[in-house]
Amino acid sequence: MGAVALSASIPAPADDPARRGASPASRLPGVQAHPHALAVLGPALPPEGRPSHAYLFHGPPGTGRRAVARSFAAALLADGAPDPRAVSERVARGAHPDLTWVTPSGANEMLVGDIDEAVVAAAARTPFEARRRVFVIEGAHTMSDTVANRLLKTLEEPPSFVHLVLLAHRLVDVLPTVASRCLHVRFDPLAPARIEERLLRGASPAGSESQAGPDPAGVAACARLAGGDGALAAWLLGEEGREVRAGAEDFARAALQGRTAERPWSTLLERARAAGVRAGEECQRRWEAEQELWDPKERRRRAREATDAQRRAERRARTATLDTALRLVEAWLRDTWCVAVGAPEVVHAVDRDAELRADAAGRSSAQLRAGVDAVAQWRLRLAVNVAEELALEALAYRLQDLLGTHALTGPAPGASSDMTRRAAPSRSATTAAR
3-state secondary structure 75-105: HHHHCCCCCHHHHHHHHHHCCCCCEEEECCC
| Residue 218 main-chain phi, psi, to 5 deg | -65, -40
Question: What per-residue confidence (pLDDT) applies to 121?
Answer: 96
| Helices and strands in the chain, H and E counts | 17, 5
Residue from 306, 401, 403, 391 nearest 363 by CA: 403
Output the CA angle 282-287-290, nearest 5 degrees. 130
Strand-by-strand arrangement of the 99-102 sheet:
99-102, 133-137, 162-168, 54-58, 183-186
165, 57 Cβ separation under 8 angstroms: yes
What distance in Å separates the CA atoms of residue 220 and residue 233, rounded to the nearest whole number? 9
Q: Domain residue spans in the chain?
A: 24-186, 238-409+420-433
357, 256 Cβ separation under 8 angstroms: no
Question: What per-residue confidence (pLDDT) applies to 405?
Answer: 65
* Three-class DSSP category at 73: helix
Question: What per-residue confidence (pLDDT) applies to 213?
Answer: 66
Which amino acid would we find at residue 152?
A: L
Which amino acid would we find at residue 158?
A: P
Question: What per-residue confidence (pLDDT) applies to 114?
Answer: 93
**Residue burial 312-326, b: 16+ Cβ < 10 Å; e: rest:** bbbbbbbbbbbebbb
- Chain segment 180-231, per-residue pLDDT in tens: 999 999 999 989 999 999 888 864 444 444 455 678 999 999 999 999 998 8
Question: What per-residue confidence (pLDDT) applies to 380?
Answer: 85
Task: Give per-10-residue mean pLDDT for the chain (434 aa).
Answer: 33 42 82 93 93 95 92 95 94 95 86 93 96 96 92 94 96 94 95 90 49 80 93 93 96 95 96 93 83 79 83 89 96 96 95 96 92 92 79 94 69 38 38 40
Question: What per-residue confidence (pLDDT) applies to 209?
Answer: 44
38, 32 Cβ separation under 8 angstroms: yes
8: enclosing H helix or E strand: none
Count of Cβ atoms closer than 10 Å to residue 251 Cβ: 26
What distance in Å separates the CA atoms of residue 164 and residue 115, rounded to the nearest whole number? 12
112, 146 Cβ separation under 8 angstroms: yes
What distance in Å separates the CA atoms of residue 158 and residue 229, rounded to the nearest whole number? 33
Please, which residues bridge with residue 284 across strands?
none
Give Rg (Cα) of the chain.
25
Longest distance between any two alpha carbons in the chain, whole Å: 83
Question: DSSP E strands: which ranges in 97-240?
Answer: 99-102, 133-137, 162-168, 183-186
CATH 3.40.50.300 fits 24-186, yes or no: yes
